[in-house]
Amino acid sequence: MGRKILFAAALFVAGFATALYLVAPVSESQTGQGKAIWTEPTLDQQRFRQELLAVSCKIHLGMNKLIGFAEEQSMRLAEYVREKYTEHQAENG
Protein backbone atom coordinates (compact mmCIF):
# COMPACT_ATOMS: atom_id res chain seq x y z
CA MET A 1 0.00 0.00 0.00
CA GLY A 2 2.79 2.40 0.94
CA ARG A 3 4.68 1.68 -2.27
CA LYS A 4 1.63 2.54 -4.36
CA ILE A 5 1.19 5.87 -2.60
CA LEU A 6 4.89 6.65 -2.94
CA PHE A 7 4.82 5.75 -6.64
CA ALA A 8 1.69 7.86 -7.22
CA ALA A 9 3.27 10.83 -5.43
CA ALA A 10 6.49 10.51 -7.46
CA LEU A 11 4.51 10.25 -10.68
CA PHE A 12 2.45 13.31 -9.77
CA VAL A 13 5.56 15.35 -8.95
CA ALA A 14 7.26 14.28 -12.18
CA GLY A 15 4.20 15.23 -14.23
CA PHE A 16 3.87 18.57 -12.50
CA ALA A 17 7.56 19.34 -13.01
CA THR A 18 7.28 18.44 -16.70
CA ALA A 19 4.26 20.70 -17.11
CA LEU A 20 6.10 23.58 -15.46
CA TYR A 21 9.12 22.99 -17.66
CA LEU A 22 7.01 23.05 -20.84
CA VAL A 23 4.92 26.07 -19.90
CA ALA A 24 7.59 28.25 -18.26
CA PRO A 25 9.09 30.95 -20.51
CA VAL A 26 12.78 30.75 -21.37
CA SER A 27 14.91 33.82 -20.71
CA GLU A 28 17.22 35.28 -23.35
CA SER A 29 20.31 34.45 -21.31
CA GLN A 30 19.40 30.76 -21.33
CA THR A 31 18.86 30.61 -25.08
CA GLY A 32 21.89 32.71 -25.97
CA GLN A 33 19.88 34.27 -28.79
CA GLY A 34 18.17 37.59 -29.40
CA LYS A 35 14.54 38.70 -29.50
CA ALA A 36 13.82 37.14 -32.92
CA ILE A 37 14.10 33.65 -31.44
CA TRP A 38 12.18 34.68 -28.32
CA THR A 39 8.93 35.53 -30.12
CA GLU A 40 8.57 32.21 -31.94
CA PRO A 41 8.43 29.92 -28.87
CA THR A 42 6.01 32.32 -27.25
CA LEU A 43 3.62 32.00 -30.18
CA ASP A 44 4.01 28.23 -30.13
CA GLN A 45 3.30 28.19 -26.42
CA GLN A 46 0.20 30.33 -26.92
CA ARG A 47 -1.07 28.03 -29.66
CA PHE A 48 -0.38 25.02 -27.46
CA ARG A 49 -2.26 26.58 -24.55
CA GLN A 50 -5.21 27.47 -26.79
CA GLU A 51 -5.38 23.95 -28.20
CA LEU A 52 -5.08 22.49 -24.71
CA LEU A 53 -7.90 24.74 -23.49
CA ALA A 54 -10.10 23.75 -26.43
CA VAL A 55 -9.52 20.06 -25.79
CA SER A 56 -10.15 20.42 -22.07
CA CYS A 57 -13.41 22.27 -22.77
CA LYS A 58 -14.54 19.46 -25.07
CA ILE A 59 -13.67 16.89 -22.41
CA HIS A 60 -15.53 18.93 -19.77
CA LEU A 61 -18.65 19.17 -21.95
CA GLY A 62 -18.50 15.45 -22.69
CA MET A 63 -18.19 14.63 -19.01
CA ASN A 64 -21.16 16.87 -18.20
CA LYS A 65 -23.25 15.07 -20.83
CA LEU A 66 -22.15 11.72 -19.43
CA ILE A 67 -23.02 12.74 -15.87
CA GLY A 68 -26.43 14.02 -16.97
CA PHE A 69 -27.11 10.78 -18.84
CA ALA A 70 -26.03 8.70 -15.84
CA GLU A 71 -28.27 10.69 -13.48
CA GLU A 72 -31.23 10.30 -15.83
CA GLN A 73 -30.70 6.56 -16.18
CA SER A 74 -30.26 6.08 -12.44
CA MET A 75 -33.58 7.84 -11.80
CA ARG A 76 -35.28 5.62 -14.37
CA LEU A 77 -33.72 2.54 -12.80
CA ALA A 78 -34.79 3.61 -9.30
CA GLU A 79 -38.36 4.11 -10.52
CA TYR A 80 -38.34 0.70 -12.22
CA VAL A 81 -37.07 -1.00 -9.06
CA ARG A 82 -39.74 0.75 -6.97
CA GLU A 83 -42.47 -0.43 -9.36
CA LYS A 84 -41.21 -4.01 -9.34
CA TYR A 85 -40.91 -3.93 -5.55
CA THR A 86 -44.48 -2.69 -5.10
CA GLU A 87 -45.74 -5.33 -7.59
CA HIS A 88 -43.87 -8.01 -5.65
CA GLN A 89 -45.30 -6.74 -2.35
CA ALA A 90 -48.81 -6.70 -3.80
CA GLU A 91 -48.49 -10.30 -5.06
CA ASN A 92 -47.06 -11.67 -1.83
CA GLY A 93 -49.26 -9.61 0.46
For residue 45, what pLDDT band results from cuts at 50, 70 and 90? confident
Single-letter code of the amino acid located at 85: Y
Q: Residue 81: pLDDT above 90? A: yes
Count of positions (residues) in the chain: 93
Higher-scoring residue by pLDDT: 28, 2:
2
Range of the domain at 45: 2-92
For Cα atoms 10, 13, 15, give the angle at the middle one, nearest 5 degrees.
Answer: 110
| DSSP annotation string for 19-83 | HHHHHSPPPHHHHT--HHHHHHHHHHHHHHHHHHHHHHHHHHHHHHHHHHHHHHHHHHHHHHHHH
For residue 77, what pLDDT band results from cuts at 50, 70 and 90? very high
Number of domains in the chain: 1
Over the stretch 46-65, which tens digit does the pLDDT of each residue have?
A: 888 888 888 888 889 988 99
